[in-house]
Amino acid sequence: MIRITGDHVEVSGPMTMSGAAALLAEGEAAIASNAAAFDLAAVTEMDSSCLAVVFGWMRAAKAGGKTLRLLNPPQNLLSLAAVYGVADLLPQP
Higher pLDDT, 60 or 7: 60
- How far is the C-alpha of 33 from the C-alpha of 73, rounded, in Å? 22
Report yes or no: 63 and 89 within 8 Å, Cβ to Cβ. Answer: no
Query: In the structure, what pLDDT confidence band is assigned to residue 93 with cuts at 50, 70 and 90?
Result: low
pLDDT at 92: 74
pLDDT value of residue 7:
87
Note the pLDDT tens digit of each residue in 42-81: 999 999 999 999 999 999 999 999 999 999 999 999 999 9
Domains of the chain (ranges, CATH numbers): 2-89 (3.30.750.24)
Q: How many angstroms separate the CA atoms of 17 and 35, rounded?
A: 23
pLDDT in tens, 16-47: 999 999 999 999 999 999 999 999 999 999 99
**Cut 0.95: pTM above it:** no
Q: How confident is the model at residue 6 (pLDDT cuts 50, 70, 90)?
A: confident
Q: What CA–CA distance (Å, rounded) separates 56 from 1?
A: 16
